[in-house]
Amino acid sequence: MKLLSFSLLVLFLTNPLYSQDKLLLKDFKPESIYNTPTTKIIRAKYPVIDFHSHPDAKSEKELEEWIATMKSHNVEKSVILTYSTGSRFDSIYDMYSKYGDQIEVWCGFDYTGYNEKGWTKKAVKELERCFDKGARGVGELGDKGLGLFYSKPAEAPGLHMDDPRLQPVLKRCGELGMPISVHVADPYWMYLPMNEKNDGLMNAYTWKVDTSKEGVLSHKELLTTLSNAVKNNRGTTFIACHFANTSHDLEILSKLLDKHPNLYADISARYSEVAPVPRRTKAFFEKYKDRLVYGTDMGMDASMYETTFRILESADEHFYAWDLFSYHWPLNGLDLSDETLKMIYSENGRKILSK
């Protein structure tokens, strides 16, 4: 009976109809058969500051294991974006701050009562309290169209980065020397029709953005709110998360960086969006090497760091990382120069953190 079942399985899998008509795209996990180099990079070539991590470790044991993974991979510091204020921030800070220079903890904004008179002063007061506690930056602020939402304990529907009520809080960050990490929009595939022409379909469908909803800002409008906030607060350093979600067209980010000297971008969680076009991406990295910072935003596993190092450092071609990415396109190494690697890995980060 087992032999018969196995024979039927073989017959099914070898049937040409299986691959063309029966195989679902979600189950399609190709493996490269190209005879090309496979580079294994355990430790980054130069010391690394990770500007985009979250408090993923939920226990002292998990945190100790993560710290050990960081050290073994040459990650000298991770910035923990908590989104949080109040007691939630305090508890995260108390747990993570024990690791000194290995960890830096950032807070969020408290949006509680943001539609009420006097909210701005209250938000500044809580920001200052978090600073006194030990927060050295703010993030990750997030707006995917309906308003700022990532922060705990309260979100702020309808409040965007360039809202006048928020500007004094952003300005105070600059006065305190607190950089602000900002996530606006999402990758452009999430805005396209979810059909056979969307080459990022499987990942895009999971995170699709419905711009038909009332009050939802478009991709372009969200980038405008970021640009306005950066322009209105020249004394504050901003870090646009995930290439400002312009990985489909880095010319957009180029223009923002050219326009705003107080704006940087982190490269976190968009490796799979830029690695398919290595020549264009490399040219962008080399040109703006003084404005980009390393980030992950993909958990705590050793393989995650190793994949990012492989993409940045190697010249490997046409490979996949199904454990991290859901797109159905191959990745390529960028083979960045030593100077660019040094700046993106840590030199730009040290400059930001020392302001």
Closest CA to 335 of 72, 49, 73, 37: 37
Angstrom CA distances, 124 to 195, 282, 329, stand at 45, 40, 45
- Look-up: residue for tokens 């991290």? 324
Query: In the prediction, which pLDDT does 4 show?
Result: 45
Question: What pLDDT is stored for residue 24 in this prediction?
Answer: 86
Q: How far is Cα 314 from Cα 43, in angstroms, rounded to an integer?
A: 13
Beta bridge partners of 182: 141, 240
Q: What value, to the nearest 5°, has the Cα angle with vertex 56 and ends 46 and 185?
A: 80
- Give the pLDDT confidence score for residue 23 in this predicted structure: 83
End-to-end CA distance of the chain: 72
Q: How far apart are CA 73 and CA 8, in angstroms?
A: 46
What is the predicted pLDDT for the residue at 246? 98
The CATH code belonging to domain 45-353 is: 3.20.20.140
Show the low-confidence residues of the chain (pLDDT under 70): 1-19
Distance separating alpha carbons of residues 156 and 142, to the nearest angstrom: 10
Query: What confidence score (pLDDT) does residue 2 get?
Result: 44
Instruction: Report the alpha-carbon distance of residue 167 to residue 278 in Å, rounded.
Output: 38
pLDDT of res. 28 = 87
Which two three-digit tokens encode residue 339?
A: 């100077």
What's the angle, vertex CA 89, arms to CA 300 and CA 105, rounded to 5? 50
Position 269 scores a pLDDT of: 97
Q: Is the peptide bond before 55 cis (omega within 30 degrees of 0)?
A: no
